[in-house]
Homo-oligomer: A and B are copies of this chain.
Amino acid sequence: MTQEALYEQIRLKKSFLCIGLDIDLEKLPPQFKKSKDPLFEFAQSIIDATHSYAVAYKPNLAFFETYGLEGWKAFAKITQYLKQKHPQHFIIADAKRGDIGNTASRYAKAFFENYNVDAVTIAPYMGKDAVEPFLSYKDKFGILLALTSNPGASDFQFTELAGQKLYEKVLEKSKNWEGAQQLMYVVGATKAAALSDIRKIIPEAFLLVPGVGAQGGSLKEVAEEGLNKQCGLLVNSSRGILYASQGKDFAEAAAKEAQILQEEMAYYLEQKKLL
């Protein structure tokens, strides 16, 4: 999927919502207790209920890996289902992979060729040769961790040299890597205060912003500081949508939560004259 096609979807749906598929079997509504393939069936219900409000889905690989082969099968089925039924949605494998060049190529192949996702999240610690293999696929994207939404973000990401923090250095350096036009960045919603500085370094890039909802980030602040002239944002909500209700009405409740976020997003897009 091209960035232009993604932007087109954003305008069409008046939404920059990404729904995170962090599916926890223990949190599923009771009707999935007897399901043969609860991971896929729950994901399918959520996708069917929310697709008109979302432009992207983000399966979180840990939540599939933890269920072994069944988990990987479900992940493959979900990506296939999206590509067949909702091919206009951007699929992000939230895998946070990162390894030396010849190994990184294997991860890129796994996700882009076997599972045909549009983007993979990547960890920056090992530097350029761990990232570039993800940037050599046409219309596929690497989404590099810059400033994450979790408490541990403060351990290293703010390490500062001559006024430049580590996450800023990650942004600066990676801009010049081979294939950098295929790079997007993770910036946590809980760190919205940093967004205006981040936009000075990477005005054009798409940002994937987790941390709205359960983690406490504010959509308003993120939109104010993060929107650029082509939107440039994908704001993710996972738990707040998936488990909006754990009863029989889980799909309607998820749709309602997604719609609330979409409507708020439409307002910010209109305010910035992006529609």
Residue positions of A touching B, CB distance < 8 A:
22, 60, 62-63, 65-66, 68-69, 72-73, 76, 94, 96-101, 103-104, 106-107, 109-110, 114, 123-131, 145, 148-157, 159-161, 166, 169-170, 173
A150–B125 contact, CB under 8 A?
no
A150–B129 contact, CB under 8 A?
yes
* A157 partner residues in chain B, CB cutoff 8 A: 125, 127
B66–A109 contact, CB under 8 A?
yes
CB distance from A100 to the nearest CB of B (A): 4
Tell me the complex Cα distance, A173–B152, Å: 11
Listed A/B pairs (20) with beta-carbon separation below 8 Å? A22-B103, A62-B110, A63-B103, A65-B110, A69-B69, A69-B72, A96-B123, A98-B98, A100-B149, A124-B125, A124-B155, A125-B156, A126-B145, A126-B152, A127-B157, A128-B152, A130-B150, A159-B169, A160-B161, A166-B166
Residue of B with least CB distance to A68: B114
CB distance from A78 to the nearest CB of B (A): 14
Tell me the complex Cα distance, A104–B150, Å: 12
* A22 partner residues in chain B, CB cutoff 8 A: 103
Residue of B with least CB distance to A121: B99
B152–A127 contact, CB under 8 A?
yes
Residue of B with least CB distance to A214: B102
* A101 partner residues in chain B, CB cutoff 8 A: 150-152
B124–A66 contact, CB under 8 A?
no
CB distance from A239 to the nearest CB of B (A): 9
* A131 partner residues in chain B, CB cutoff 8 A: 152
Tell me the complex Cα distance, A159–B164, Å: 10
B69–A73 contact, CB under 8 A?
yes
Tell me the complex Cα distance, A60–B107, Å: 11
Tell me the complex Cα distance, A96–B126, Å: 10
| A130 and B107 in contact, given A62-B97, A99-B96, A161-B161 (Cβ under 8 angstroms) | no
CB distance from A130 to the nearest CB of B (A): 5
Residue of B with least CB distance to A115: B68
Tell me the complex Cα distance, A173–B158, Å: 14
Tell me the complex Cα distance, A160–B166, Å: 10
* A153 partner residues in chain B, CB cutoff 8 A: 126-127
